[in-house]
Amino acid sequence: MGNLSLTEASHALCRTSEVMARLVERFGPARFGARPRVGERFEVLSRQIVYQQLAGQAAAAIWGRVREQESEWTPATVRALGAEPLRAAGLSGAKTRAILDLAAHCERGSLDLTCLGRLPDQDVIAQLGQVWGIGVWTAQMFLIFSLRRLDVWPVGDLGVRKGYGLAHGWTEPPAAEELESLGDRFRPYRSVAAWYCWRATEI
């Protein structure tokens, strides 16, 4: 979706609650950054694997070292690179395995990243879930930031849970199960609501 759609979605969220209206007023329309091209999806997913369960600055440093290992980041070049340079760049064994498994799936055609944009959300999650080490969270981040799906609600994301709680003045963030139903009011713009929850952690 383009910036106009994000702006419209942000304005629509203002009508869902006073809390959301205050977040929209403070942070302005949601911004998801540049949409990656189809040919960049393998690199995007590799980066998301690196970022799993890591603070942004630490993850960025590791990804920078990983990315320096190969000038052309494709399934073929990554498989040819192998595990040792990835581990030397600071990747854990699990994340190294995940990136190499992603490359293997893409290279043999069991995962076609070019067609994911035509699939429903749950089918995208299922397709990506074939890869060892890619779970629901990684697939949801791909849906939001690569495919620009506006109604994804990543209740397993600690930042979303924490931000929702902080924005509402709660002493503890909601559990994932509780947050699931709390997001219903934000349909069909739950991805945008999640973006504001992330911003709420910056207050």
Does the CA dihedral 57-31-95-38 come out positive or negative? negative
Does the CA dihedral 36-2-130-118 come out positive or negative? negative
Does the CA dihedral 105-81-117-44 come out positive or negative? positive
CATH of the domain at 89: 1.10.340.30
Let me know whether 66 and 158 are in one domain: no
Q: What is the 3 state secondary structure string of 131-156?
A: CCCCCHHHHHHHHHHCCCCCCCCCCC
Let me know whether 48 and 101 are in one domain: yes
CATH of the domain at 160: 1.10.1670.40
User: Tens of pLDDT along the chain (203 residues)?
Assistant: 545 589 999 999 999 999 999 999 999 999 998 999 999 999 999 999 999 888 778 899 999 999 999 999 999 999 999 999 999 999 999 999 999 999 999 999 999 999 999 999 999 999 999 999 999 999 999 999 999 999 999 999 999 999 999 999 999 999 999 999 999 999 999 999 999 999 999 98
Let me know whether 49 and 28 are in one domain: no
Let me know whether 162 and 102 are in one domain: no
Distance of alpha carbon 141 from alpha carbon 134, whole angstroms: 11
Tell me which of 121, 145, 169 is where a domain ends. Answer: 145
Domain limits at 23? 3-32+152-200
Let me know whether 138 and 165 are in one domain: no
Let me know whether 86 and 116 are in one domain: yes
Tell me which of 106, 122, 145 is where a domain ends. Answer: 145
Let me know whether 55 and 134 are in one domain: yes
Q: Which two tokens stand for residue 46?
A: 């590799």
Let me know whether 131 and 43 are in one domain: yes
